[in-house]
């Protein structure tokens, strides 16, 4: 009897923790979404419905330019980081070398450097030594240094469980390294690559510390939002946040539906016969 009551108490505690975690994660998102439709900015409750925030967002050209720049920054960083991380992880795990611990340390070292220091050091390198002006390209390269480590860790978790015998079998039957990667390895590890791409895109899209020192006068979403907050919260800031959250949730919902329907899978699984 005591065991059953203790088990029920544990379930209640765990359930309460889960509920609190969901509240902590999603109540701010819900608040921003509701506030984007309210006339009152400081405290939007009760909701007095209006489209003013979205109309102001459509008219503000600075937000359009900032969104485009942030998207380019995020996509460029994600593509380069995911590609380089894939090559690095494949090389480290597939080939033996006595310098492997040192190589891993050098690859993961930027993870422990503060974003501000990374941004300042990139600014000094570009401005004083390379004489490269602040622009999107220099910001992409600076963000790659930071995002690469995250992409590498995500991809490594998938490749640690990968069955390398699949690649060996393809090689035995005459497939070259490139064909083996695209026809055997990539279909089995694509979830990790997609995860690395999404994470690095979000990190660079939202980054302010690194981009602030490397972009010069190029506006991005974080810099525009930061600059706008100096003059108080504007309705269009709520609208931007609500639209970005909606886009992320939509992508997650599409991925969930595709995985539940079996349209896409999770790659290689041990013991699978097909």
String of DSSP letters for 125-178: IIIIII-PPSSHHHHHHHHHHHHHHHHHHHHHHHHTT--THHHHHHHHTT--HH
Q: Is 68 part of any domain?
A: yes
How many domains are contained in the chain?
1
pLDDT at residue number 34: 85
Residue 76 tokens, joined: 């460029």
Tens of pLDDT, residue by residue, the chain (274 residues): 555 567 777 788 888 899 999 999 888 888 888 888 887 777 777 777 888 878 877 876 778 888 888 899 999 999 999 999 999 888 888 777 777 778 888 888 888 888 888 888 888 887 777 777 777 888 888 889 889 999 998 888 888 887 777 877 888 778 788 888 888 888 888 888 888 898 899 888 888 888 888 877 788 888 887 877 777 777 788 888 888 888 878 877 877 777 677 655 555 455 444 4
Output the domain CATH number for residue 77: 1.10.3720.10
Q: Is 146 part of any domain?
A: yes
Give the global pTM.
0.78
pLDDT at residue number 272: 44
Q: Is 117 part of any domain?
A: yes
Q: Is 170 part of any domain?
A: yes
Q: Which domain holds residue 72?
A: 61-261
* Interatomic CA distance for residues 112 and 36, integer angstroms: 36
Q: Is 202 part of any domain?
A: yes
Q: Is 37 part of any domain?
A: no
**Buried b vs exposed e over 21-44: b needs ≥16 C-beta within 10 Å?**
eeeeeeeeeeebbebbbbeeeeeb
Q: Is 25 part of any domain?
A: no
Q: Is 38 part of any domain?
A: no
């Amino acid at each position: 009897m005591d065991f059953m009551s203790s088990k029920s108490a544990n379930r209640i505690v765990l359930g309460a923790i889960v509920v609190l975690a969901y509240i902590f994660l999603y109540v701010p998102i819900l608040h921003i979404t509701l506030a984007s439709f309210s006339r009152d900015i400081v405290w939007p409750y009760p909701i007095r419905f209006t489209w003013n925030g979205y109309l102001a967002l459509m008219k503000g050209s600075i937000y359009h330019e900032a969104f485009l720049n942030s998207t380019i920054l995020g996509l460029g960083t994600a593509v380069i980081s995911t590609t380089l991380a894939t090559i690095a992880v494949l090389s480290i795990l597939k080939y033996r070398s006595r310098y492997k611990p040192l190589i891993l340390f050098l690859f993961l070292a930027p993870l422990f450097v503060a974003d501000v220091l990374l941004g300042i050091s990139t600014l000094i390198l570009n401005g004083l030594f390379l004489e490269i002006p602040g622009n999107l390209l220099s910001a992409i390269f600076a963000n790659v240094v930071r995002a690469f480590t995250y992409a590498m860790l995500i991809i490594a978790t998938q490749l640690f469980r990968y069955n390398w015998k699949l690649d060996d079998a393809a090689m035995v039957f005459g497939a070259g390294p490139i064909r083996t990667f695209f026809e055997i390895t990539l279909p089995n590890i694509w979830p990790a690559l997609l995860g690395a791409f999404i994470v690095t895109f979000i990190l660079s899209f939202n980054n302010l510390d690194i981009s602030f020192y490397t972009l010069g006068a190029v506006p991005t979403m974080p810099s525009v939002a930061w600059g706008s907050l100096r003059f108080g919260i504007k309705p269009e800031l709520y609208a931007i946040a609500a639209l970005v959250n909606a886009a992320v949730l939509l992508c997650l919902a599409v991925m969930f539906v595709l995985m539940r329907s079996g349209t896409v899978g999770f790659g290689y699984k041990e013991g699978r016969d097909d």
